[in-house]
DNA sequence: AGCACGCCGACT
DNA sequence: GTCGGCGTGCTC
């Protein structure tokens, strides 16, 4: 029997299966999804592998599996379907995809242990690194010693071993059980035995504390007591069951129509009291069926908040969080309790799409419009696709909850793929004010805050209420805009704002070859008022400190605060809080709901004119985030105050329809998928030639390709780089094979379309 | 020659 | 990720 194995080496040259003979003793027991240890390379180094297929014949197999680690598969069929989905993205490293799916206590790492055999022939300096047992564990910082040690090994002076170690040390709690009480002789021992008083087991720690370790040791030795190791588990702190607020009459009907035991996607639009009760009832129903619930939130800092919230509403069940902030051990404990069905609610960020459950009964994605669900670096996967697959496989409902549906949501509802549950509030009482900054300029106000916003902030302060001022993230790709007529130079072919490259003083398109020189003079109104956009949050802080020297000003962004700190700030914020918050769009992430009186969006243009194909939708989402959390007032300051998206805030359907038809014409998502390809090589000419060849080959596969264009920067680490943009419905294997690196040309791919 | 370093190709 | 094999360049 042959096993096809993926080895845990994340490298494009090893991105394939390797066939091994299955030892006769394991033929009956080995299954797909089990971990194995296999010999690898000439030296037969031991590596951890995962069995992905079992078959009867192979031309390639030459070596035999050394050891099968697991008794049962650690990845079920469900996860192999997810794996297939992840591998649809070209050049995805199989080992990385598997690593993301495997519970982290099943992962291993490798250490090198060096033993000193011959002290005579090793110089004193080197000798000093060994401990008293003449052993030494090679650390990252000691890598430079390795070649020397290898030479010493050849001569037989030292021994080098590579040891596979689990990443998580499982923790056991030791209990003592009374084996044979009649064996005791001394009074003290009798006392210990009587301490059991009918109980089956007692914590060893407890007994040692009272009677000391030596007498306990003796009792174990003469067979009176016996040790019992039990895997440490999460403490179950659950109490009585709380009755939920009853569903309002108008929520009854949509609730009753939910099919809890089959797959369907429900889009709940509206994040308010109604949607909260609705979701709580759905969660309750799933728990009462004896099943488990997975809840996804977009940001790490939200995990704790929702754990608290769910713990409050469901006091009778165990709620666990899944976050990369947790230690391996914490995650392991949570995972174990989910596998035992002890924990019923799991709350996590996108990495929790791979969490294993005993009996998953429903998936909830909160703030489902949020961009943060998509990985922007490292391994790419689409959490929505993966969770849809999981829901389908398990025949359970998938709930999306958002305050504003996305373009894709709108499209899917239209296609009939989503069941739409409208819980939006009809009476919306936040006052929205649009400020035309061109007018402010005419009035001689060159400051960051308009008159209107200043007044609103003052008003909030006198009422002891808080405000939040939002600016776009610093360092994001910048564009230029005329301060007097709000003209933005755009790529004539794609209508996407041109990037301002400060170094060269050029304006460049992201997607096509187009570029032009930056000039201060506006081609439309002729005034010398063209300026790069992208003022910093620091500038705003300095300015506010000057204007409001006696007020508390708090900065909220990912760079300055950890997720715990962010959560603490949000938790302790109340509407009646005389404070001014400033932050990036991060601060608009909606946990601030009902906690902020006034939201001011400064330079909304920078949110609306991002150099991306979905700039309008991203801008629309951000403004809706702001609308969602602003309790009393929302002030939007923009130079281009007639921007399509600004008007869309009050006429959403028009926005969806117009934007969707644009996307259809331009063959953009949700009608097509996009993929950026970056080709790099030492020769500029060759890399361009190759890009054209690749483009033609892809055209033969019926894939539309835009480009090539030069990447920014064009030359990096002695390699010239160009970009292609692919529009496609589906990627066949033949296409994937075109997108692999060769000796001369390196190919990277990006599903997020963020390269320029 | 001996050693240090860096690059390349292969791995079932 | 890790090895050997190779080339290069430095030093005794």
- Going by C-alpha positions, the residue among A412, A388, A407 that lies closest to residue A398 is A388
Q: What is the pLDDT of residue A402?
A: 96
**Quick one: what percent of chain A has pLDDT higher than 70?**
97
pLDDT band at A559 (very low <50, low <70, confident <90, very high): low
Position A535 pLDDT exceeds 60? no
Position A519 pLDDT exceeds 90? no
Position A26 pLDDT exceeds 70? yes
**Quick one: what percent of chain A has pLDDT higher than 90?**
54
Position A533 pLDDT exceeds 70? no
Tokens encoding A91: 């050049």
pLDDT band at A397 (very low <50, low <70, confident <90, very high): very high
A413/A155 Cα distance (integer angstroms): 71
Q: What is the pLDDT of residue A297?
A: 97
Taking the CA of residue A120 and the C1' sugar atom of nucleotide C11, their distance in angstroms comes to 25
Tokens encoding A751: 């599903």
pLDDT: which is higher, A713 or A107? A107
Q: What is the pLDDT of residue A71?
A: 93
Region A457-478: what's the mean pLDDT? Answer: 82
Q: Which residue is nearest to nucleotide C1 (CA to C1')?
A: A9
Taking the CA of residue A200 and the C1' sugar atom of nucleotide B11, their distance in angstroms comes to 55
Q: Please give the full DSSP string across A199-265, using - where no structure is assigned.
A: -SEEEHHHHHHHH-HHHHHHHHHTTSEEEEEEE--------PPPPPPPPPHHHHHHHHT--TTS-EE
A653/A660 Cα distance (integer angstroms): 11
- Going by C-alpha positions, the residue among A752, A671, A676 that lies closest to residue A408 is A671
- Per-residue pLDDT reduced to its tens digit, A565-574: 888 888 888 8
Q: Are A552 and A578 in contact (CB under 8 A)?
A: yes
Q: Which chain C positions come under 7 Å from a protein C-beta?
A: 1-4
pLDDT: which is higher, A512 or A422? A422
Range of A208-212, A376-380, A563-567 with top mean pLDDT: A376-380
Region A353-360: what's the mean pLDDT? Answer: 97
- Per-residue pLDDT reduced to its tens digit, A605-625: 888 888 788 999 999 999 999
pLDDT band at A364 (very low <50, low <70, confident <90, very high): very high
Residues having Cβ less than 7 A from any atom in strand B: A 11, 13-14, 16-20, 39-42, 44, 58, 60-63, 144, 147-148, 151, 743
Q: What is the pLDDT of residue A716?
A: 74
Tally of residues, chain A: 756
pLDDT: which is higher, A711 or A54? A54
Position A223 pLDDT exceeds 60? yes
- Per-residue pLDDT reduced to its tens digit, A162-190: 888 887 777 778 888 888 777 777 888 88
pLDDT band at A476 (very low <50, low <70, confident <90, very high): very low
Region A91-108: what's the mean pLDDT? Answer: 91
Q: Which residue is nearest to nucleotide B3 (CA to C1')?
A: A148
Tokens encoding A613: 């194909």
Taking the CA of residue A111 and the C1' sugar atom of nucleotide C2, their distance in angstroms comes to 13
Residue A500 CB neighbour total at 10 angstroms? 23
Position A514 pLDDT exceeds 90? no
pLDDT band at A475 (very low <50, low <70, confident <90, very high): very low
Note the pTM of the prediction, 2 decimals: 0.87
Give the mean pLDDT of chain A.
Answer: 88
Strand C close to A9 by CB, under 7 A = yes
Instruction: Show the CA angle centred on residue A589, arms to residues A588 and A590, nearest 5°.
Output: 100
Strand C close to A56 by CB, under 7 A = no
Position A379 pLDDT exceeds 90? yes
């Amino acid at each position: 029997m042959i096993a096809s194995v993926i080895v845990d080496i994340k490298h494009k040259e090893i991105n394939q299966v390797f066939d091994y003979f299955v030892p006769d003793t394991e033929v009956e027991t080995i299954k797909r999804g089990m971990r194995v240890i296999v010999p690898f390379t000439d030296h037969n180094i031991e590596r951890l592998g995962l069995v992905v297929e079992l078959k009867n014949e192979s031309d390639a197999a030459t070596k035999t599996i050394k050891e099968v680690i697991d008794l049962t598969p650690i990845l079920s069929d469900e996860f192999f379907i997810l794996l297939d989905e992840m591998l649809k993205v070209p050049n995805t490293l199989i080992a990385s995809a598997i690593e993301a799916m495997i519970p982290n206590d099943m992962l291993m790492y490798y250490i090198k242990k060096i033993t000193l055999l011959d002290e005579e022939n090793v110089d004193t300096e080197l000798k000093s690194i060994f401990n008293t047992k003449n052993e030494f564990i090679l650390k990252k910082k000691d890598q430079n010693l390795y070649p020397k040690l290898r030479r010493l090994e050849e001569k037989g002076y030292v021994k080098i071993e590579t040891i596979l170690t689990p990443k998580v040390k499982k923790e056991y709690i030791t209990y003592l059980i009374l084996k044979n009480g009649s064996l005791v002789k001394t009074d003290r021992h009798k006392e210990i035995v009587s301490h059991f008083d009918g109980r089956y087991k007692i914590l060893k720690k407890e007994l040692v504390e009272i009677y000391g370790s030596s007498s306990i040791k003796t009792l174990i030795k003469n067979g009176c007591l016996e040790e019992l190791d039990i895997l440490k588990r999460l403490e179950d702190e659950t109490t009585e069951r709380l009755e939920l607020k009853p569903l309002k009459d108008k929520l009854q009907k949509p609730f009753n129509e939910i099919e809890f035991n089959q797959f369907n996607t429900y889009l709940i639009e509206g994040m308010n009291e109604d949607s909260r009760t609705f979701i709580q009832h759905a969660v309750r129903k799933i728990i009462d069926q004896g099943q488990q619930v997975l809840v996804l939130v977009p940001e790490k800092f939200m995990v704790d908040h929702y754990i608290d919230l769910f713990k409050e509403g469901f006091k009778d069940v165990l709620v666990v969080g899944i976050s990369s902030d947790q230690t391996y051990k914490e995650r392991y404990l949570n995972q174990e309790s989910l596998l035992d069905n002890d924990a019923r609610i799991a709350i996590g960020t996108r990495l929790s799409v791979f969490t294993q459950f005993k009996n998953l009964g429903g998936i909830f994605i909160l703030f489902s419009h949020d961009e943060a669900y998509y990985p922007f670096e490292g391994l790419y996967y689409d959490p929505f696709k993966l969770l849809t697959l999981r829901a389908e496989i398990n025949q359970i409902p998938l709930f999306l909850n958002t305050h504003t549906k996305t373009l894709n949501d709108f499209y899917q509802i239209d296609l009939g793929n989503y069941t739409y549950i409208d819980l939006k509030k009809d009476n919306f009482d936040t006052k929205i004010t649009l400020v035309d900054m061109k007018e402010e300029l005419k009035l001689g106000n060159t400051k960051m805050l308009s008159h209107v916003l200043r007044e609103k902030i003052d008003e909030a302060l006198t009422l002891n209420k808080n405000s939040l001022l939002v600016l776009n993230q610093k360092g994001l790709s910048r564009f230029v805009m005329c301060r007097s007529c709000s003209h933005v130079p755009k790529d004539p072919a794609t209508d996407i704002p041109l990037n301002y490259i400060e170094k060269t003083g050029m304006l460049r398109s992201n997607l096509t070859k187009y570029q032009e020189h930056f000039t201060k003079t506006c081609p439309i109104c002729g005034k010398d008022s063209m300026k790069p956009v992208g003022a910093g949050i620091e500038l705003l802080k300095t300015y506010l400190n000057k204007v409001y020297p006696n007020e508390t000003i708090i900065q909220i962004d990912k760079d300055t605060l950890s997720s715990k700190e962010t959560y603490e700030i949000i938790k302790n914020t109340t509407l009646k809080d005389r404070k001014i918050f400033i932050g990036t769009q991060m601060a608009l992430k909606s946990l601030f709901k009902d906690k902020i009186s006034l939201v001011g969006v400064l330079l909304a243009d920078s949110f609306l004119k991002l150099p991306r194909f979905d700039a309008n939708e991203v801008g629309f989402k951000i403004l809706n985030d702001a609308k969602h959390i602003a309790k009393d007032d929302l002030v939007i300051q923009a130079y281009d105050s007639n921007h399509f998206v600004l008007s869309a805030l009050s006429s959403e359907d028009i926005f969806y329809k117009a934007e969707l038809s644009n996307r259809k014409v331009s063959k953009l998502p949700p009608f097509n998928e996009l993929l950026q390809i970056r080709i790099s090589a030492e020769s500029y000419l060759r890399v361009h030639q190759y890009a054209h060849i690749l483009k033609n080959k892809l055209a033969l596969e019926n894939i539309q390709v835009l480009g090539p264009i030069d990447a920014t920067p064009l030359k990096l680490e002695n390699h010239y780089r160009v970009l292609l943009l692919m529009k496609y419905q589906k990627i066949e294997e033949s296409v994937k094979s075109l997108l692999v690196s060769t000796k001369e040309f390196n190919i990277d791919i990006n599903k997020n379309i963020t390269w320029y």
